[in-house]
Amino acid sequence: MAPGGNRGWLLRLVIAFGFAQGAVSMARPAVSYRALALGADEQAVGVIAGAYALLPLFVAVPLGRRTDHGRCAPLLPAGVVLISGGCALSGLADSLWAMGLWSGVMGLGHLCFVIGAQSLVARQSAPHEQDRNFGHFTIGASLGQLVGPIAAGALIGGSDMAGTSALALLVAGAGAAVACTSLWRIEQPAPAVSRAAPGERVPVGRILRARGVPAGILISMAVLSATDILTAYLPVVGEHRGIAPSVVGLLLSLRAAATIACRLVLTPLLRLLGRTVLLTVTCLLAAVLCAGIAVPVPVWALALMLAVLGFCLGVGQPLSMTTVVRAAPADARSTALALRLTGNRLGQAAAPAAAGLIAGAAGAAAPFVMLGVLLLLSSGVALRTPSGPTGDRPSGRRPTRDRSRCRTTR
């Protein structure tokens, strides 16, 4: 099937991603609660949580290489099996080292699924559809991030923390398995095009030097770090300001809902502003809003700030995917997406650690100032990011007509 054909595969992919991401978003807090119930201290919980992000770092690029020279679809059920197994076995584990191992398996499964899914979107989308299709694809992640923590909170609690957290992990494993029901005929037959032989691999250094790839990686890392730290530290800020946990939960859900809303209207925004302006403005506004969270404000004002912040953060992930895909060499797009995911995992491991050090030294709200600086840097990078081969706006087709006219008059 040529890129830009029937998009039924995209809807099925979004549904599958929603279940897979929902399972992971449900399992990650459940893993922490179960580890605490098994006697872990804060440091051990951090190590177990870090295994989720660090273990996949060693296989991201090889998986990207494999996908560049083969099919994308096999990675999807493999990722679902690893996520489901990691969740279920974490619920059955009775030691901390086993919890860390299965947490890493869960992270490996998520990485497999995301590399396969992003490569599939890049391969089966026409160039002018990539921003829209990546935006729709990430709606699945946002839905999972919205529902997963709510489901975990509904199951975990009471005097038997070990039992309820184990139940949540088993339910998460079952939920991940449901994703397989949407993966039928997800990859269409590829057109007859020449591919590089497996030995003809584009060096990683060349991929990283391609204009636009480092920018896409940095923007993605900044946006994901903002989302992770917001989820981790807003409860701490709420505790210091006397905001009830139930209200904090609603605030975080409002942020996730605003992100979904952003991705639903991403295409009209791109037509109105163009990719470069949209990325720059949203990163800049997100930087101001993140820093603003450090200022004591009424709850209604905090809710308004988080709604706008969630909307702005919804732009960075899908557009950074398109930026990397368009900037990378044609035979290394999956590898470039894997490098982007590697940057995300590094951010997930390093940002909370840095935030913890800053919070310990300057207070719970200080990490949001750090995020503001990181997003401000991303806005500057976004301003210099190339808009891609199709131009920043639809009017980018005009130079083609001009060149054609010039050739005719010669």
Does residue 112 sit in the same domain as residue 174? yes
pLDDT computed for residue 248 by the predictor: 77
Does residue 57 form part of some domain?
A: yes
pLDDT computed for residue 7 by the predictor: 67
Other Cβ atoms within 10 Å of 188 Cβ, number: 17
Does residue 198 form part of some domain?
A: no
pLDDT computed for residue 147 by the predictor: 86
* ∠ Cα 357 360 366 (to 5°): 85
Does residue 178 sit in the same domain as residue 218? no
CATH number (domain holding residue 359): 1.20.1250.20
pLDDT computed for residue 325 by the predictor: 81
For every residue of the chain, which 3-state class applies, written as one string?
Answer: CCCCCCCHHHHHHHHHHHHHHHHHHHHHHHHHHHHHHCCCCHHHHHHHHHHHHHHHHHCHHHHHHHHHCCCCCCHHHHHHHHHHHHHHHHHHCCCHHHHHHHHHHHHHHHHHHHHHHHHHHHHHCCHHHHHHHHHHHHHHHHHHHHHHHHHHHHHCCCCCHHHHHHHHHHHHHHHHHHHHHHCCCCCCCCCCCCCCCCCCCCCHHHHHHCCCHHHHHHHHHHHHHHHHHHHHHHHHHHHHHCCCHHHHHHHHHHHHHHHHHHHHCHHHHHHHHCHHHHHHHHHHHHHHHHHHHCCCCCHHHHHHHHHHHHHHHHHHHHHHHHHHHHHCCHHHHHHHHHHHHHHHHHHHHHHHHHHHHHHHHHCCCHHHHHHHHHHHHHHHHHHCCCCCCCCCCHHHHHHHHHHHHHHHHC
Does residue 250 sit in the same domain as residue 141? no
Q: What is the mean pLDDT, run by run of 10 residues, along the chain of 410 residues? A: 63 92 87 83 71 78 76 87 94 89 91 88 80 84 83 80 89 93 76 48 78 84 82 72 77 86 88 87 91 87 92 87 81 82 78 67 73 85 63 40 42
pLDDT computed for residue 124 by the predictor: 82
Does residue 401 form part of some domain?
A: no
Does residue 243 form part of some domain?
A: yes
Helix H or strand E encompassing 380? helix 366-383
The whole model's pTM is what? 0.74
Helix, coil or strand: residue 50 = helix
Does residue 282 form part of some domain?
A: yes
Q: Which of 184, 219, 236 is the last residue of a domain?
A: 184
Does residue 308 sit in the same domain as residue 370? yes
pLDDT computed for residue 43 by the predictor: 65
pLDDT computed for residue 192 by the predictor: 44
Does residue 156 sit in the same domain as residue 108? yes
Does residue 216 sit in the same domain as residue 321? yes
Does residue 29 sit in the same domain as residue 115? yes
pLDDT computed for residue 172 by the predictor: 94
Does residue 139 sit in the same domain as residue 242? no
Does residue 192 form part of some domain?
A: no
Does residue 168 sit in the same domain as residue 229? no
Does residue 18 sit in the same domain as residue 140? yes
Distance of alpha carbon 135 from alpha carbon 394, whole angstroms: 18
Task: Categorise residue 271: left if φ over 0, alpha if ψ from -120 to 50, beta otherwise.
Answer: alpha
pLDDT computed for residue 363 by the predictor: 67
Does residue 156 sit in the same domain as residue 228? no
Does residue 194 form part of some domain?
A: no
pLDDT computed for residue 16 by the predictor: 93
Does residue 226 form part of some domain?
A: yes
- The total number of structural domains in the chain stands at 2
Burial letters 134-147, b for 16+ CB under 10 A, else e: bbbbbbbbbbbbbb
If 0-12 CB within 10 Å is exposed, 13-18 middle and 19+ buried, where does residue 401 land?
A: exposed
**Can you give the residue range of the structural domain that contains 324?**
208-388
Which of the 8 DSSP states describes residue 203?
P
User: How far from each other are the two terminal CA atoms of the chain, in whole angstroms?
Assistant: 39
pLDDT computed for residue 284 by the predictor: 92
Residue with tokens 């038997």: 160
pLDDT computed for residue 167 by the predictor: 93
Does residue 281 sit in the same domain as residue 382? yes
